[in-house]
Structure 1
């Protein structure tokens, strides 16, 4: 019997990004931000925004018929047979395991009685077996994590505890910034790990996965249902075209709005609150492009509950 899992991927290709999961819902922007965004705590500049506030989505069934969802996301449907001793159980991704509930995107791994390129991959991973009443471990990895001999590469993986009262049962803020210079990982708005080696250079996609295949890493599937709940997600990013000045759609949009100015660039974007407020005190009207602030603002709550 295959392990029934849930996976969704962002259908748009991004060049680099800031990824963060936000606890607080984003409010309506006070400006149109036609010429981009400057993040308040880093001053990084991004030309594009993908934002999903799942509390505003109608709970359609199946989710694949919801146009607001399918505009940015696609539910994975592939499966895998037993591969070897490391993955002793088959995997089946079922569309019905991804749905909207109580204003949250929910991924379910049903109770039970591979990335194609691991050289341009950034992971934030949490193992439910590591949950404790006062903390949970978060694994931050930049691939490749192993060298040709199979040894762990220095600083490629960092494991940092997120502390609090039963943090796995409450929404937390997870974020990473991906720029040309470095990767920055955050827990609830605090930088906890940086890495300036082997920065990914290729464009890619965003994945939200909830799975277990019985292997050494993920462990055995739970005997009860496991849920990953996301309140909303924001990705501030640049593209290959916007980096080299050939993004004609963005250029036309910015020019129609009057060009770079404090009225068309949101200079004070607060990641924690989602506020996008242009500052009248900005010193620069021509911000320097970064690769991608992949603000993957993820409010993450994972709970293990028994089948009804």
Structure 2
């Protein structure tokens, strides 16, 4: 039988616990997001985020989730190929999972779930129809930029994830399906610089171009491709593994993120074009960056007047391929989103897809920084209090 003093202690323990949780909740990520621990020498802090969970995004209005489909034509002459390039919004389509609680399985229209960027096989009108989208945000100045995607396996397309300010300040990860062999692939790591402009917009003739072999075919599974950009260097990664550092001609202006998938038949680059419709599929985009926008900078100073390491959230490294296929697909594709975890995206624009997805995300990620991790502590305190 419990004593009155024990019950009083229990009430006191509960009040102390809830007050502590309130303080912790108020401190979640207020001072931003970090690559590596704040105690590490390679620590980098970013104030803003943009996260998209395309496995669960069901929309035709992509601007509403932070991305603007592009619509324009480039003549064959200007595209430097036998065909022109044509980008139309209709070539960007959402294909989410049918089950909003799952992270793998059947999609609405069949095939791999995710955002589809199509290159069309009919180019009888002299243009190859492809897809491109740009982030609504144009204020990204340094950051960590990540995409999980499966490339097209049809020979003759180029798929790219990149940041862009202008033709002499651009950071690219580009994939040419013609470079995939039976077991391996390649990613082209590129900085477009004033030197590449002088070379006729051909970065391959500069030091800021690396052809990086990959130990897998990018068209067979989803992998995370990432670049971290600081004033000193641009570092490239795949599934959390470091590939290359570029330390010269580092961009210094703010700009937008882009995704595209295209072909113009140029045998020196995209090759092709493909004879049938083919898609690049994106399962997520995650970006953590500093903003050049004065209003966003003011917002940050309001919620974080002085940087406090206890109010900085470390960005999890994706160290395995976030692939939804296979026996463990529901686990490997289930990656962490701050914006799906209540309270971890203070004063950020977030694109929660459904409550089901959010609940599923929280079930899978009761991490050490989450309130759920403190439940055992609460139980222990309550048991101690009522036993005294």
Q: TM-score range by the shorter chain?
A: 0.5 to 0.7
2:311 to 237, 242, 264: 264
**Residue ranges of structure 1 left out of the alignment (5+ in a row):** 1-28, 277-308
Q: Deviations over 1:29-64 (max 9, x none)?
A: 997312101122741111111111112322x3xx22
Structure of higher RCO (CA pairs closer than 8 Å, 6+ residues apart) = 1
Three-state SS of the structure 2 residue aligned to 1:125 is strand
Between the aligned partners of 1:233 and 1:84, the Cα distance in structure 2 is 30
Partner residue of 1:284?
none
Task: Kindly report structure 1 stretches of 4+ aligned residues shifted beyond 4 Å.
Answer: 113-116, 149-154
> 1:84 Cα shift?
5.5
Between the aligned partners of 2:28 and 2:86, the Cα distance in structure 1 is 42
Q: Which structure shows the bigger proportion of residues in helix conformation?
A: 2
1:76 to 63, 70, 79: 70
**Residue ranges of structure 2 left out of the alignment (5+ in a row):** 1-24, 96-106, 108-112, 124-131, 133-163, 319-334, 339-388
1:111 to 104, 115, 121: 121
- The answer to whether structure 1 residue 146 and structure 2 residue 190 are counterparts is no
Three-state SS of the structure 1 residue aligned to 2:171 is strand
2:92 to 69, 83, 98: 98
RMSD of aligned residue pairs (Cα, Å): 3.0
Partner residue of 2:46?
46
Against the structure 1 CA distance between its residues 35 and 84, is the aligned structure 2 distance closer, same or farther, given a 3 Å change threshold? closer
Partner residue of 1:32?
28
Q: Which structure shows the bigger proportion of residues in strand conformation?
A: 1
Against the structure 1 CA distance between its residues 183 and 220, is the aligned structure 2 distance closer, same or farther, given a 3 Å change threshold? same
> 1:275 Cα shift?
6.7
> 1:246 Cα shift?
7.9
TM-score, length-scaled by structure 1: 0.68
Q: Deviations over 1:174-197 (max 9, x none)?
A: 111110110101122111111100
Between the aligned partners of 1:78 and 1:84, the Cα distance in structure 2 is 13
Aligned length: 235
Kindly report which structure 2 residues correspond to 1:247-258, keeping only aligned pairs within 5 A, or say none.
247-254=297-304
> 1:157 Cα shift?
0.5
Three-state SS of the structure 2 residue aligned to 1:169 is coil
Against the structure 1 CA distance between its residues 50 and 31, is the aligned structure 2 distance closer, same or farther, given a 3 Å change threshold? farther
Q: Deviations over 1:228-250 (max 9, x none)?
A: 111111101002257xx981122
> 1:133 Cα shift?
1.8
Against the structure 1 CA distance between its residues 246 and 108, is the aligned structure 2 distance closer, same or farther, given a 3 Å change threshold? closer
> 1:253 Cα shift?
2.9
Between the aligned partners of 2:271 and 2:189, the Cα distance in structure 1 is 18
- The answer to whether structure 1 residue 185 and structure 2 residue 260 are counterparts is no
Three-state SS of the structure 1 residue aligned to 2:90 is helix
- The answer to whether structure 1 residue 235 and structure 2 residue 287 are counterparts is yes
TM-score, length-scaled by structure 2: 0.54
Between the aligned partners of 1:57 and 1:149, the Cα distance in structure 2 is 41
